[in-house]
Structure 1
Amino acid sequence: MLRRSGLTIREGAALLIPITGTLNGQPWRDQPIDEREAHRLARHLSAACFVVIGYLSGMRTGEILTLERGCLQRDPVSNLLLVRGRHWKGVRDETGSSVAEGRIRPDPWVVAEPVATAIGVLENLHHEQLLFPHMLGEHKSGPREFRTGQARTTGGINVDIADMIGWVNTYCAATGRGDSIPPDPTDPNIPARRLRRTLAWFIARKPRGLVAAAIQYGHLKVQMTVGYAGSYASGFPDDLAFEEWLARLDLLASANERLDEGEYVSGPAAATYRHRVDAAQRFAGHVLRTTSDARTLLANPDLQIYPGHGMTCVFDPRRAACHLSRDDTDTRRTPDLSDCRPNCVNIARTDRDIDELATDVERLRLLVDDPLAPPIRVVRDRHELHRLEDTVAQHIQWKAEADG
């Protein structure tokens, strides 16, 4: 009778839930969610929340998987977002035996706003006490598969991450989107433990010129190093120090290659720049046995070179004109590249720096020639334009004389 009625019949059972999520301002799907796919989508959502928490907190995998409902708090004084959870490393009872259930850590993790959002999503996704329960609503048969009240295993979350990547790429292919997740060039598997190292890599090598990213990672570094992630028990300062060391070596290796290819360097610190780049090559092949080794090498004067916009800081704290920034992880002082002064004797300018200044010159010329620009701004921009033009012209002249 239904077939003869002419009514459209849809297989399955659609959930009576409106589609509210959007991508680029459009609903992420035009069909309601079917009951049969709800569990799979919930598992993908849980894996996505795990990635956000792991990447933006620096927690260990086991620490994330055992987070419980209500773990997020906002400090009323500092307004920092704090996450409290369990730890196992070094936890022993009065007899000296390891405590299997761990213990609530006295020092909380300090996290960013996206982590709080992910925790809120998980608390609304299910009714379990653990944010990452072993099962999400669907109880398979067999005691080995169904472990009520227990957390997702490391192996399980690794599978979830792989499944989520596959779902995202299938969705992008079906909808014609170009923001799929590319395959890893070295290992097709993305284990959860790599998230901490990835975070340290980005903090140590925040993208040059991308102001939003620089603010994000700089702010995150400050937040994390005042809380649990800044303590040596977390192990995260070790990851960060190691990544900073690798980033500094990559910078110096690249600088040495450019010098060998004939790159010219001008500015008051040009000679010091060449000396330090050349001297840094003796660290090639150096074995880092401890975190202390990495920190000692990072503090070595021959490695104190910091790329900025249109300049390179060959840092000498005794002669720096900027306000020095104290490193969050120890007592080292670093230059404040946002407060760089043109008259600072620590400045060196490479050909690449001059290319950046030449781009600034073209931009300022357009601003100065704008007939609608306020006179006060025009005067300021014209002064800066002349200064940059002189700097670029002087570099080009000295380079021509050096080439003979």
Structure 2
Amino acid sequence: MIAEAARDVGVDTDCPLAHAPQGRLDDRPWLERISYYDVARLERLLQVSCWIVIAYLSGMRDFEIKHLQRGCLSIHQAPDGHVYRHRLRSLAFKGEDVHGVEATWVVTAPVARAIAVLERFQPEDQPYLLAPALSSRRNHPRRTAFPVPNSNTTNKDIAFLLSWITSYCSDHGRPDGIPLHRGRLPRLTTRQFRRSLAWFIARRPGGTIAGALQYRHQCIQMFEG
């Protein structure tokens, strides 16, 4: 029976998943196969990647992103089916009540895609999109009312992603790795993504007003500062 199984599935020192990676880089699969033993690590990378897309392209604060729940995205379409607006619903915490208040952010298609990925990522009985993956050591059988990681944990996940990208590019001979800063990888935190986007928006025509609306500041002077 062992010999027949070996002829059927082969013999390997690894345990690859039957799923074939679909993503492509330069028209080639980004990975030939996914090892069972890498699933937890790749899930961690996928989740923090979605966090980065949302944070950078929405201007939401970390805690506002952590409050995103299943069904938070609404898509507005014209009669001809053209999508003209994506909106995210969460809780805002800038000068608001300590428990936050309901708020809406206008976002772009990449953010909407990140939300869709996170909704598929979580089991149906988990409402919070940034809750730890089922394979994560941070996931406990007894769930808390708000089971999402704190900012320090997300900062560590961002550093882990930068390190993984650097190793991946080096192993595959790619020139588009993370540029080093003073001989080492940059240290990024959850706050920097929001500030970077604000810098670009403020320098567009009419950007100051747009930024004040999107970032929920009480006065334009705060945004310009």
Same fold (TM over 0.5): yes
Opposite residue 198 of structure 1, the aligned amino acid is S
Q: Does the 8 A contact of 1:74 with 1:80 survive in 2?
A: yes
Distance 1:142 1:229, change over 3 A: closer
Q: Quick check: 1:81 aligned with 2:86?
A: yes
Distance 1:45 1:146, change over 3 A: farther
Counterpart for residue 33 of structure 1: 34
Opposite residue 231 of structure 1, the aligned amino acid is R
Work out the CA distance in 2 between the residues paired with 1:59 and 1:29: 32
Opposite residue 25 of structure 2, the aligned amino acid is L
Q: Quick check: 1:171 aligned with 2:173?
A: no
Counterpart for residue 126 of structure 1: 122
Q: CA deviation at 1:176?
A: 0.3
> Which residue of 189, 192, 204 corresponds with 1:191?
189
RMSD: 3.4
- Map 1:227-266 → 2, pairs under 5 A: 228-229=213-214, 231-233=216-218, 238-239=222-223, 241-242=224-225
What are the Cα deviations for residues 69-99 of structure 1, in whole angstroms up to 9, with x where unaligned?
111112347932110101234444xxxxx43
Q: Does the 8 A contact of 1:110 with 1:226 survive in 2?
A: no
Instruction: Using CA pairs under 8 Å that are at least 6 residues apart, name the structure with larger relative contact order, 1 or 2.
Output: 2
Work out the CA distance in 2 between the residues paired with 1:236 and 1:10: 61
Q: Does the 8 A contact of 1:49 with 1:119 survive in 2?
A: yes
Over the matched positions of the two proteins, sequence identity in percent amounts to 31
> Which residue of 91, 103, 113 corresponds with 1:117?
113
Distance 1:142 1:187, change over 3 A: closer
Work out the CA distance in 2 between the residues paired with 1:188 and 1:20: 30
Q: CA deviation at 1:196?
A: 1.1
Q: CA deviation at 1:228?
A: 4.8
Which protein has the bigger helix share?
A: 1
Counterpart for residue 262 of structure 1: none
Distance 1:141 1:75, change over 3 A: closer
Q: TM-score, with normalisation over the residues of structure 2? A: 0.80
Work out the CA distance in 1 between the residues paired with 2:173 and 2:136: 35
Gaps of 5+ in 1: 93-97, 206-216, 243-404
Q: CA deviation at 1:65?
A: 1.6
Q: How many residues align?
A: 214
Q: TM-score, with normalisation over the residues of structure 1? A: 0.47
Q: Does the 8 A contact of 1:162 with 1:190 survive in 2?
A: yes
Distance 1:123 1:17, change over 3 A: same
Counterpart for residue 201 of structure 1: 199
Counterpart for residue 152 of structure 2: 155
Q: Does the 8 A contact of 1:81 with 1:116 survive in 2?
A: yes
Q: CA deviation at 1:15?
A: 1.6
Structure number, greater radius of gyration:
1
Q: Does the 8 A contact of 2:198 with 2:211 survive in 1?
A: no
Q: CA deviation at 1:200?
A: 2.0
Counterpart for residue 15 of structure 1: 17
Opposite residue 41 of structure 2, the aligned amino acid is R
